Amino acid sequence: MAPLKLVLVLASAPGQPEGDPATRLELAIALDAAGRPDPVAWRSDPEPWHARLLRPDLPPRSGDVQYDPDNGWSITFFGMAAQRPDMPGAALAIPAPLRPGEYVTLTDIDGSELVFRVVGVAGMDEAGPS
């Protein structure tokens, strides 16, 4: 299955209990029939699944969605001084199917948790440029 473009907005974070709709997480990710990320599709896809964190006060952070059967889903952001190649990325906790209105927790490598709400799901060809 081809990856979809998911758009999530910040629902809650340290210092931002009400979230910030201008802070977005964009993911290219294939979903299984239950609406969850599909590890089989991830392993078989020759292209990386891209991720991008957009904050109004910082430059965009780009990376790739990764999967490990023991640790689950994560995002490895590129060019982070604190992140070594052998370090795990920011962990993604996905307790429910990825549909509009559902929540995803991103635990950054510093341990801070950012909670995002899914606001859009589109086919990559429908999503337009990012």
- Chain segment 22-42, per-residue pLDDT in tens: 999 999 999 999 999 999 999
pLDDT of 129 above 50 = no
Measured from the Cβ of residue 27, the count of other Cβ atoms closer than 10 Å reads: 26
For residues 110 and 49, give the distance between their C-alpha atoms in angstroms, rounded to a whole number. 23
How does pLDDT run across 77-113, given as a tens digit for each residue? 887 545 455 555 788 888 888 999 999 999 887 888 9
Residue 83: φ, ψ to 5°: -100, 120
Whole-structure pTM value: 0.83
pLDDT at residue 128 is higher than 50: no
The secondary element (H helix, E strand) that includes residue 43 is: helix 39-44
Distance CA 1, CA 15 (A): 38
